[in-house]
Structure 1
Amino acid sequence: MELEQIYLDKGKDYTPRTQHLDKQGRAKFVNHLILESSPYLLQHAHNPVNWYPFSDEAFDKAKAENKPIFISIGYATCHWCHVMARESFENEEIARVMNEHFVCIKVDREERPDLDAIYMNAVQMMTGSGGWPLSVFLMP
């Protein structure tokens, strides 16, 4: 089923969390996070960034398109995660660059503490510090 149709099937009780609405109040953007159950990931389902959940599909896309991967790890009650979403992921020009040059993956650290631990440890070993939102760039 097409992502747009999945969004529409959510019905009138569903409120997209985005500033990008059409004249009817519907979200202009729908990405692969619309398929997720995590409240944090659903908060990003209408960003102009074409987010994927951490999945084989995302890694296969990166390999097929020979693009690096951008992973953003955060959680629903993280203040700075919301600031980054508002200042970066809701910005259409930034999203255009991200979508053109990367396969973008969003991770809810509360649902995937295993992934959070792996990537946080790697970032801390490389930089000496870490925190959220955690941004990681990798090759497929």
Structure 2
Amino acid sequence: MPNKSKPNRLIAEKSPYLLQHAHNPVDWYPWGEEAFEKAKHENKPVLVSIGYSTCHWCHVMAHESFEDEEVAKLLNEKFVSIKVDREERPDVDSIYMTICQMMTGQGGWPLNVFLTPDQKPFYAGTYFPKTSRFNRPGFVEVVKQISDTFANNREHVEDIAEKAANNLRIKAKSDAGDSLGEDMLRRTYQQLINSFDAAYGGFGSAPKFPIPHMLAFLLRYHQYSGEENAL
């Protein structure tokens, strides 16, 4: 259980989600220069963990890992940890959700992204159980492996980070280009059909997260094309 007598830096924040984590044993920082300056000064990787107050799996991971003294000790010794409310900082969430989707092919919350001290991402994922289960790597194992790789194979980390940053720049440039044509809309619709779970609903494999922009696209595509299956 979290130590209620020792609030962390989030206690001074206004966000209900951040305040939910204000008594975690993890030494959380809010998003800002202070955290990244500390990471540069101490030469540590950065964990950016993004969620929101009504997210079920965010609460599950908080209880399993962020309220856990073993996990907190690892994070406090080896990382600089930042908590972000996606409803307060949708700009930050959008960037790192794009990175997660590029790296893993899927997204959702909680969104956990590991960065170099100069804010370049090199590893990303969504929900991690504390120890490996559900065919998902455990957070303790992930944190230990990332810390070891950062310390002993920094060149590899920097190479991944530079490629991810470059891919993000390419995507941003592409997004700023011409408006979408009919062929692109059709291909996007087809990709959603291919990933839709007709038996149980949702897209992709479990654990599933409702992703509003997918549903908004399907509604607008139905209105645009008359395609009943989109609706």
When the two structures are superposed, what TM-score results if normalisation uses the length of structure 1?
0.81
Provide runs of 4+ in structure 1 moved above 2 Å. Answer: none
Is residue 2:85 matched to residue 1:103? Answer: no
2:62 to 85, 105, 110: 85
Q: Distance in 2 between matches of 1:42 and 1:20?
A: 13
| Aligned counterpart, 1:60 | 37
Note if 1:72 corresponds to 2:54: no
Q: Which residue of 1 aligns with 2:100?
A: 123
- Counterpart in the other structure of 1:20: 2
Residues 2 and 68 of structure 2 are in contact (CA less than 8 Å); yes or no, is this contact kept in structure 1? no
Percent identical: 69
Point out where structure 1 has 5 or more consecutive residues left out of the alignment: 1-18, 22-26
Equivalent residue of 1:67, what SS?
Answer: coil
Q: Secondary structure at the match of 1:37?
A: coil
Q: CA deviation at 1:29?
A: 2.4
Asked if 1:33 is matched to 2:15, the reply is no
CA distance in 1, matches of 2:18, 2:45: 21
Higher relative contact order, structure no. (Cα contacts within 8 Å, ≥ 6 residues apart): 1
Rounded to whole Å, the distance in 2 between the matches of 1:118 and 1:20 is: 30
- Partner amino acid, structure 1, of 2:2: H
CA distance in 1 between counterparts of 2:42 and 2:5 reads: 25
Which has the greater radius of gyration?
A: 2
TM superposition shift of 1:20: 3.4
Alignment partners' CA distance in 1, 2:53 and 2:2: 20
Partner of 1:14: none
Aligned alpha-carbon RMSD (Å): 0.9
Alpha-carbon distance in 1 for matches of 2:32, 2:2: 26
What is the SS of the residue equivalent to 2:83? strand
Residue of structure 2 equivalent to 1:46: 23
Q: Counterpart of 2:6 in 1: which secondary structure?
A: coil
Deviates more, 1:28-37 or 1:73-82: 28-37
- Alignment gaps of 5+ in structure 2: 118-231
